[in-house]
Chains A and B, each alone.
Chain A
Amino acid sequence: MIVLDPNGEKLNLMALNVGPTHPATHHCVRLLTALDGETIVAGVHEIGFMHRGFEKMAERGTWQQVIPYTDRLNYCSAMMNNIAFCRTVENMFGIEIPERNKVLRVIVNELSRINDHFICVAAAFQDLGGTTPFMYAFNPREEIMLIWEKLTGARLTNSFARIGGLYRDSYNGFEEDVLAACKSVEKALKDLHACLDRNRIFLDRTVGIGKISAERAISYGWTGPVLRATGVASDLRKDEPYYDYETYDWEVVVGTQGDANDRLQVRLAEIEESVKIVRQALKRLAPGPVDIVDPRIRVPAHQMAYQDMEGLIGRFKSVYEGIRVPQGEYYCGTECANGELGFTIIADGSGHPYRIKARSPSFAHVSAFAEMVEGLTLSDSMAILPGLNMIAGELDR
C-alpha cells in the first residue's frame, strides 16, 4: 500500500501477515504488519485461535469438575492453576488448610514455577535459533516431570489440588527426589547462564529490544516476571502472602531495563529463588494430615467410605451433587508463573459454579505486543514474543 507519512513523504509499505502458524507465535497469535523495508511501521494482532470455552464449560459441571479445566489454562505449570482455583474457593468457604498441605503446595508451586520458566527460556532460545540451551533446559524439566509422575500419576496436566486438600499425600522418597531435582536444576542454570550471558548473537538480539516503561506496563495490567523486569517489585507472594510465603527467606527479583533480555534473566533468577524456597520448605515438611475433615467440602477418604455410613453419604453427596459453595461473589488473585492468575467467581449457593471468569496474565501481556513491535524490525518482533511467555490455553482460555 502507498501511504503518506506524517512528514508528507510518499512511502510504499508492504502488508505482511505473520502467524498464526509461524513457529514463534505458537499457533495462537496472528500479527499483520505494515512493513517499510524491514521495519514495522504499524501492526495489529489477533488472538482467539485457542479459545476453547473454559468459562462455558466450567458452568456445566460441579465445583470439583472445574479443576481439570484449570489445569489446561497454563499447561506449563498446571498445578499452580489448580492451587490458585482451590485457594479462591477455600477462601470463600473460610477454611484453613492443614500445615502439611500448605508446605506441599508451596513445594509443588515452586517446582511448577521452575518448570514454567525453563520452558519459557528454552522456547525463547529455540525461536532465536539456539537449540543447545533448549536441550539443557529440558533435562531438569524431565526430572521434575518424573517426580510429578510418582506424585500425581500424570506428566503434564496433573489435577493435584483439591478444594480443602490434595489428591494424595506425597510418596516415600519424595524429599530425596526433590533435592536431587534441585541439584540438577542448579546445574542446568549454570549451563544456561554459560550459553546466555556472553553470547554475542543472543545479546545483540535481545538487549534494548522491546523496552517498555513501568507506567505503561502497569497500565496494560502486566503482572509477574515481565512486570518485575521493568523494575517494579510487585509479587503477590510478598505483597499479599498466602501459605506462609512471608516466612521463607527469599527475595523478589527485579530487572532494570524492561527489555527482552531482562524478561528472560528475571525468569532465570527467579528459578534460583524458587530453589531456595523449595529447600526451606522441605525442612518444614512435618508429618500430618493433608485434607481437612469436613465431608461437605472434601470428599471423605476411602477407609471412611467403606466403614462408616456418614463417610459413604458424604462421598455420595459430594460426587453427585457437588460441594455447595456459599452464595456470593469474589475476586482473588494468586501469583502464578506468568503473573497474577485471578478468578472472579459468582456462586449461587448450588453445587455448580454460576460463573467463573479467569483473569489470565498472558492476556494482559500479549495485548501490549502490537504496540511494542512498532518501530522494530520483523526479526525483533519474534525475539520479544517468547519473552512474554504467552501460553495459548491461558491467553484464550
Chain B
Amino acid sequence: MNNEAEKPNFITSSLDFIVNWGRTNSLWPFPYGTACCAIEFMSTEVGRYDLSRIGSEYVRFTPRQSDVLLVSGTITYKQAPILQRMYEQMAEPKWVIAMGACASSGGFYDCYCTVPGIDHIIPVDVYIGGCPSRPEAFFDAMFDLQKKIKDESYMKMRTERVKEQWELIKAKTAEAKANAAAMAKSKIADIKDFAVEKEQKLIKKAQFWKE
C-alpha cells in the first residue's frame, strides 16, 4: 500500500490548480484589529478602495470561518496569549498578514509592554510596512498572498498533514496483519492436530470394525 499522492502526476497538478484558484479568490479575512491600522483596514473595506473586488467579500469576526488572520495594530504582552489562541483556533489552510509597523516589528513602541513583532508568537506570511499602512499597501499584500497561495500544492500539503495519521494507520495495519497471520497459523496447527486425531480415531474405528 503506497501513498500514491506523494508522486505528482497529471491528476494532482490540475487538482492543485483548481483548489488554489478557489482559495486565492475567496480569502476571508479575520481582522484582529487593535489600533490605528484597523481604522485603515475599515477604509480598505468600504467605498473608495473596496476589498470585495479581490474576493475578500466577507469579513468574518470568528476564527473558525476565516482564512487570513489580519493582525493590524500593536500586540502587547497582555494580548499575546489571546492572539496565539486565535491563531490556533483557525482552521487549515490559514495565512497571516502583519499589517503595519507595530505588528511587524513593534514599531516605534520599543517599550516594556509591546511585543517586538508578532513573529515572536505566530508565523507570518506577509508583512506590510507603514504606520499605519495605506490601503494600497494592503492590496499589494493581498496580491502577494495570492501569488504565494498559487504556488502551494494542495496534495503535498495534504500528505504532509496526514503523514502522521498515515503512518499510524500503516503501523496498525501491519500489526493487524501479523496478528491475523499468527492467528491463522495457530488455527492451522489446531486443525492439523484435530485432523490427525480424527484420522487416528477413524483408523481405530476401522480396526475395531475389522476385528
Contact = CB atoms under 8 A, between A and B. Distances in A.
The answer to A–B direct touch (Cβ < 8 A) is yes
Interface stretch (B36-44, B121-129, B189-197): B36-44
Given A138-B47, A393-B35, A48 B78 contact: yes
A281 to B, nearest CB: 25
Contact of A135 (B39, B46, B73): B46
B157 interface: no
A393 B108 CA distance: 14
A27 B113 contact: no
Contacts, number: 93
A50 B36 contact: no
B48 A157 contact: no
Interface in B65-124: 73-74, 76, 78-79, 82, 86, 102, 108-114
B61 A23 contact: yes
Contacts of B73: 27, 50, 392
Given A49-B34, A56-B112, A68-B108, A142 B43 contact: yes
A53 interface: yes
Interface string A67-91: 0110010011000000000000000
Interface of B, helix, strand, loop or mixed by DSSP = loop
Q: Which of A27, A156, A157 counts the most B-chain CB atoms under 10 A from its CB?
A: A27
B32 interface: yes
B122 to A, nearest CB: 14
B48 A155 contact: no
Interface residues of A, number: 34
Contacts of A28: 34
Contact of A52 (B33, B39, B113): B113
Contacts of B34: 26-28, 49-50, 392
A377 interface: no
A57 interface: yes
Nearest to A50: B34
B134 interface: yes
Interface string B14-58: 000000000000000000111110111011001110000000000
A157 B36 contact: yes
A21 B109 CA distance: 22
B134 A50 contact: no
B113 A53 contact: yes
A52 B76 contact: yes
Q: Which of A21, A26, A49, A139 counts the most B-chain CB atoms under 10 A from its CB?
A: A21
16 contacts: A20-B79, A23-B61, A26-B38, A27-B33, A28-B34, A49-B34, A49-B78, A49-B79, A52-B102, A56-B111, A57-B111, A138-B42, A138-B46, A155-B134, A156-B132, A392-B35
